[in-house]
Structures are given as structure tokens and as C-alpha cells.
Amino acid sequence: MSRRTTKLVKAALSALHYSRAGRLFAPLTSGQGVIFMLHHVRPEPPKGFEPNRILKITPEFLDAVIREVKRAGFDAVSLDEASTRLEEGREARPFVCFTLDDGYRDNRDFAYPVFKRHGVPFTIYVPSNFPSGGGELWWLALEEAIRVAGELRLSIGGEVRHFRLTTERFKDQAFHTIYWLLRGLPEREARASVSALAGQAGIDVSKLCANLVMSWDELRDLARDPLVTIGAHTRSHFALAKLSASEAREEMAESVLRIEQELGRPCRHFSYPYGDAGSAGPREFRLAKELGLRTAVTTEKGLLHREDAGSLTSLPRLSLNGDYQDLRFVQVMLSGAPFALWNWARRLTRPRGMAPSLESA
């Protein structure tokens, strides 16, 4: 998302907050619960050029969010409890779940103390190749390569692109252009392209995972706390929809099995890498169900409603985004109003006769 778009979204959320429209719509749009999505929790402020800053919030903001959801009457529960509440359809207080993707070491160092202090359960989704140091954090490698380089050349689809990187604005533009070009490529081709870019900039991609992600020993130690659930996130953080059915099943099944073997306990919860409609769809949701997973989460935005009991392997989440570290925005999103208005607008603009998409249904 560009900085201009971020400003527009912030303005819209602020308008909903100050007009009290969120509170007005809440009786009609709020759900039974919400699953929050996080990645990094770190105390340092963002750098001038840091496009992946959206994946990072501070421990102080996490603490404030937990206090806010408790003040608003939400129960903080595990994914096991959340799925049970959805299936039983109990008329109870709304609930909130906290989930963190990728298994970063800062989850243990900075997020865990906050959750522990409040007695809040949480889930960490781990790509099973990462704790052994075999992961490719290509989005971070891309950022680092652009940060240190004055220019880059990239060959994609037979076309050579040249990027000047002499200002932060040029770097931001280059990152977003290259990122989305890569997201359109087959996974292995995209990663080879990032490795080549990193090589141009003198970046050792292999060190990023070992430096940033928890090892199996660290995960085992953390998982001893009953507040902690470890879920699966494939082996290699591939967009499953780009793979064949057999490859997608293998990525999912082997990640679940490896986590069970390493931790000595069942793995019942899953997160789809990237999690958007182009990365995980009905085929992947069906695979998760066939593999016996209790829940699987996407990155589609929304709250949980009673009808989600029938689609526990395609649950939406609400991102705690580094660009939106403001409790006003959290309050508005918990009302469900932004998602209801967005879906209403989409239906108005959809060509007559077009069926609703899975995302808006």
C-alpha cells in the first residue's frame, strides 16, 4: 500500500471515529469475535526507508490494544476456544485471538512478556524450514538490498529493468514495483530474482533467517507455557495457490508433521502464507480440512461471525499494522463498520448479474 493510500485510509477511519458512525453501526456490524494478525513486535521506531514497517508494531501498542479489547468487553481466548465458541454458537461475550506469523525471535523477546503480563493466549505460525535456518525472508532481503544500493538492475520475463535508488522516494517506488512484480512470478523464480538482487548489493540472504527467526530449541522452550500455541505456516512460505495440488498438500502436511515431531504435541492450526485470494483459495481451504486442521487463517480483512463456523479453514483476520498504531483505528475496526461499508460499496459497483466473490460474501 502506498503512503498516499495509507493517508486516505487513515482519513476514512478517523472520519468514522469522530462521527461516531462506528458506534452507530456496531449493533448491526460487529461480530462474535476477531483474530488479530501480527508479525514483528519491536521497540525501535521505523527507519526513513522501511517498506516492511507495516509488519512491525511496538510492545507499547500491543499492550494498549490488549487493554482496549478487555475494556471493550472482549474475552482473550485461544484458537481452540474461539473455534468451539463459533461452532456452538453460544451467546457470550465477544472474543479476541492474537496470532503472529513467521516465528520471529522478537515475538519471544518483546511480544511474549506483554501477553504473559496480561495472561493472554496467542498463536505463532511457523514455516517449518525457518527454525533450522533454511528460510528465505525475501521481502526483507529485498528491502535491505534497496536500502544499501544506489541502483539495481532486475530481469523479469525477459525484460531488464533499471532502478535509480538515490532518494528515499525512489527507493519506496522501487520496492513496491519490484515486490508486486515478484508476487506475480512462480515462487522459485521470484526467490532466485531476489537472491540475484541481494548479490548485487552484497547482502547474504541466508543469514537473515538465522538472525531473525527462533530456532527449534527456542520454540520448544516458549511452547512450554500453556498460553502459547504453535501453528503451521507451510515449509517454505510459498503462496500455495501457485503450486500444483500435490505440492500444496506436501507443503502443508509436512509442515504440520515437522512441528508435531519437534514439539511433541498435535498441530491443529494453520496460516496461509500471504493469505490473500491469489495465494489461498477453495482448494487450499479444502486441503486444510482434509488434513484435519482445526482452523486455518487468511489475511482477508474482517471480523468473525456465526456463519464462520462453517468455514473454519478460511477465517479472516484483522491486521495490527505498523502504519495504524492508533487505538482510534482499532476501535473503529472492531465495530465492523469499515468492512460492512466496503462490502456495500463493492456490491453497488459490481456489474449487474455478477456473483459475489468469496471475499465479499
Instruction: Look at the chain and count its residues.
Output: 361
pLDDT single digits (tens) 100-129: 999 999 999 999 999 999 999 999 999 999
Looking at residue 200, what is its pLDDT? 84
If asked whether residues 319 and 259 sit together in one domain, one would say yes
165 domain residue, yes or no:
yes
In this predicted structure, the answer to whether residue 202 has a pLDDT above a threshold of 80 is yes
| Strand-pair partners of 28 | none
If asked whether residues 69 and 157 sit together in one domain, one would say no
- The CA dihedral of 234, 240, 244, 250, to the nearest 10 degrees, is 10
If asked whether residues 77 and 56 sit together in one domain, one would say yes
If asked whether residues 156 and 242 sit together in one domain, one would say no
How far apart are the C-alpha atoms of 131 and 232, rounded to whole Å?
A: 12
Supply the Cα-derived Rg of the chain in whole angstroms. Answer: 20
How far apart are the C-alpha atoms of 188 and 233, rounded to whole Å?
A: 17
Burial 14-37 (b: 16+ CB within 10 A, else e): eebbeeebbeebbeebbbbbbbbb
Longest dimension (CA), the chain: 58
Alpha carbon distance, N-terminus to C-terminus of the chain? 24
183 domain residue, yes or no:
yes
Give the residue numbers spanning the domain of 161.
Answer: 138-207
| DSSP three-state, residue 240 | helix
How far apart are the C-alpha atoms of 347 and 68, rounded to whole Å?
A: 32
If asked whether residues 235 and 310 sit together in one domain, one would say yes
Looking at residue 342, what is its pLDDT? 61
Q: Is the dihedral of CA 109, 111, 113, 119 positive or negative?
A: negative
Q: What is the CATH number of the domain that holds 283?
A: 3.20.20.370
If asked whether residues 262 and 307 sit together in one domain, one would say yes
Looking at residue 103, what is its pLDDT? 98
pLDDT single digits (tens) 314-325: 999 999 999 989
The amino acid that residue 88 corresponds to is E
356: confidence class by pLDDT, cuts 50, 70, 90: very low
- Grid look-up 509436512 returns 254
> Is the Cβ–Cβ distance between 103 and 216 less than 8 Å?
no
Q: Is the dihedral of CA 184, 187, 188, 192 positive or negative?
A: positive
83 domain residue, yes or no:
yes
In this predicted structure, the answer to whether residue 90 has a pLDDT above a threshold of 80 is no
pLDDT single digits (tens) 34-77: 999 999 999 998 888 999 999 999 999 999 999 999 999 999 99
